[in-house]
Amino acid sequence: MYYVYMLICRDGTLYTGITVDLERRMAEHNGSKLGAKYTGARRPVRLAYSEKFKNRSDASKEEARVKKLSREEKLKIIRSADKK
C-alpha cells in the first residue's frame, strides 16, 4: 500500500508527501535527518490527512494533484476527512 499524506507544520504551513509506511515517515519528519528539508525547520509536524492507494502510480498522481491545490482546497480535504 502507498499513502498520500498531508502534514500541518508548527508554523501552520502544509506539507504533502507519499510513503509506504506512515509511522516511519512521521518519525522521520519529526526527529530524523531523513525527513524532508522543508519539515525539518518546521517541527513538530502532525498528520492531518492520509489516503491509501494500491499502487505507486495512483498515489503519485494523487500527490501531484493535491500539491497543485490552493491552501484552502487542501484544508477542505483535511476538514472533510475529520468528519469521517
What tens digit of pLDDT does each residue of 55-68 get?
999 999 999 999 99
**84 part of a folded domain:** no
User: Which of 18, 12, 75, 10 is CA-nearest to residue 43?
Assistant: 10
CATH of the domain at 43: 3.40.1440.10
| pLDDT for 33 | 86
pTM, rounded to two decimals: 0.94
Q: What is the pLDDT of residue 84?
A: 66
Tell whether 53 is covered by a domain: yes
Residue 63's contacts (CB-CB under 8 Å, 6 or more residues apart) are 4, 16, 17, 18
Domain assignment of residue 82, yes or no: no
Instruction: Examine the pLDDT at 83 and tell me if it is beyond 80.
Output: no
Exposed/middle/buried for residue 47 (C-beta within 10 Å: 0-12, 13-18, 19+):
middle
The answer to whether residue 81 is domain-embedded is no
Q: How many domains does the chain have?
A: 1
Average model confidence (pLDDT) across the chain: 95
The pLDDT tens digits of the residues spanning 28-54 come to 999 988 889 999 999 999 999 999 999
Domain that holds residue 16: 2-76
